[in-house]
Amino acid sequence: MLINNKTYRTIWYDNISQSVKIIDQTKLPFKLEIISLKNLDDVIRAINEMKVRGAPLIGATAAYGIYLAFKELKNKRKTIKAASKIKETRPTAINLFWAVNKMLSKIDDNLNINEIEKVLFKEAEEICENDIEQCKKIGKNGLEIIKKIYKDKKEKVNILTHCNAGWLATIDWGTATAPIYFAKKSNLNVHVWVDETRPRNQGASLTSYELNNEGVKNTIITDNTAGLLMQRGQIDLCIVGADRVTNKGHVANKIGTFMKAVIAKEFNIPFYVAIPTTTIDWKTESYEDIIIEERADAELSQITGLDEENKIKTIKIYPNDSKVYNPAFDITPNKFISSFITDKGIINANYKEIARLKDE
């Protein structure tokens, strides 16, 4: 997708520097900075510090991390040990575990070191390419939903989204945003209400930034505003992403998603969750079994922005002795979800339909 009219992906391998290139998302929207990940430690730091974030992109970065680890260690046992360190970075996004396990499964004892290196590189690249294809399919499938609403309403379609499930959270296109980009390309009149998404403001800093760059009309609202807009009929549908979906269709996504889904149900507003099938946790049914990541207090008590001299500055906004609690995700039970928009079609949030995706 576009940044300043130039096409980017969120991650790629640079042969000249022999490193993985990423956009440092902690600097957006104020500065576009491309940084290099040269080894496993760089990868772990980038995921921990959320220089890359969003379930599919975390998975892709971890995949390159396994490649870089093997390239350095040249040993299967040591790479498996290194993989457990990557898995400790962010516990909720299932794509991380999926990608690491997929990479490890490619280390074949019958191959020599050079061959294994090549296989791992190819696999990491394929994980990225497949994610792009899946997001495009989500876009095409979701477009049909927006088209239908537009046909019935015959005027601007207002979509609410939460956090950033845009292209910056994937490799390209995004999950929740892919149908929106397809709608824009089909000349449908769409407008996006962007939840600010405290504490890290992924909505305001990332989603609005990427929609602006693609020329999609959008308005940032605080996380407390959507209820009023739904009550006034100013939201036609909600589309969010997910970090993990249980086999019964319960959804772990950025904190605040659950509240939006409950209010949407109250007003009969469809609530869609856009996911690639790589976000499904086939083994977990109960949402109590999902580990909810808890992050640093500083994410709440400090805020980063531009000062009068246009310099990026972080300031403290709470009393020094106040306590805070910062769970990063919540769970939306399946009864609040109208449908999943997946790369394999639009399906209901129940065990039977989700299982069907696996069999195909």
Q: Which residues are the active-site residues?
A: 243
Q: Please give the residue whose beta carbon sits closest to ligand MRU in the complex.
A: 241
Name every residue whose Cβ is closer than 8 Å to that of residue 14 and which is 6 or more positions away in sequence: 20, 21, 36
Q: Which of 123, 210, 243, 281 touches ligand MRU by CB under 6 A?
A: 243
- Of 53 and 184, nearer to ligand MRU (C-beta) is 53
Q: Which of 124, 165, 180, 251 touches ligand MRU by CB under 6 A?
A: 165
Take residue 287 and report the two structure tokens written for it: 């949402």
127 counts as binding ligand MRU under rule CB under 6 A: no
Query: Measured from the CB of residue 163, what is the shortest distance to ligand MRU in angstroms?
Result: 4
The SS3 assignment for 344 reads: coil
Name every residue whose Cβ is closer than 8 Å to that of residue 171 and which is 6 or more positions away in sequence: 9, 10, 11, 56, 57, 60, 128, 131, 132, 135
Query: Measured from the CB of residue 207, what is the shortest distance to ligand MRU in angstroms?
Result: 10
Q: Give residues 289-348 in contact with ligand MRU (rule: CB under 6 A).
A: 328
Size of the site for ligand MRU (CB under 6 A): 17
Pairing of strands 34-37, 19-23: antiparallel
Residue 346 has, within 13 A of its CA and on its CB side, a CA count of 15
Take residue 312 and report the two structure tokens written for it: 């990026």
254 counts as binding ligand MRU under rule CB under 6 A: yes
Site string for ligand MRU, 86-115 (x = CB under 6 A): -------x----------------------
Query: Measured from the CB of residue 265, what is the shortest distance to ligand MRU in angstroms?
Result: 19
131 counts as binding ligand MRU under rule CB under 6 A: no
Q: Which of 54, 139, 179, 249 touches ligand MRU by CB under 6 A?
A: 54
11 counts as binding ligand MRU under rule CB under 6 A: no
The values of phi and psi at residue 138, to 5°, are -60, -40
202 counts as binding ligand MRU under rule CB under 6 A: yes
241 counts as binding ligand MRU under rule CB under 6 A: yes
Take residue 336 and report the two structure tokens written for it: 């609040």
- Of 26 and 39, nearer to ligand MRU (C-beta) is 26
**Cβ 144 vs Cβ 189: under 8 Å:** no
Query: Measured from the CB of residue 242, what is the shortest distance to ligand MRU in angstroms?
Result: 6
55 counts as binding ligand MRU under rule CB under 6 A: yes
Query: What is the enclosing helix (H) or strand (E) of 183?
Result: helix 178-185
The SS3 assignment for 249 reads: coil
Q: Which residues of 70-101 are buried (b: 16+ CB within 10 A; e: fewer)?
A: bbebeeeeebbebbeebeebbbbbbbbbbbbe
The values of phi and psi at residue 198, to 5°, are -65, 150
Q: Which of 242, 273, 290, 357 touches ligand MRU by CB under 6 A?
A: 242
Query: Measured from the CB of residue 310, what is the shortest distance to ligand MRU in angstroms?
Result: 25
137 counts as binding ligand MRU under rule CB under 6 A: no
Q: Which of 10, 208, 253, 277 touches ligand MRU by CB under 6 A?
A: 253
170 counts as binding ligand MRU under rule CB under 6 A: yes
Q: Which of 22, 157, 163, 290 touches ligand MRU by CB under 6 A?
A: 163
Point out which residues pair with 217 in neighbouring strands: 191
CA-wise closest residue to 300 among 319, 320, 326: 326
Instruction: Report how far Cα 319 is from the mean position of its chain's Cα atoms.
Output: 32
Give the binding site for ligand MRU (CB under 6 A). Answer: 53-56, 93, 163, 165, 169-170, 175, 202, 241-243, 253-254, 328
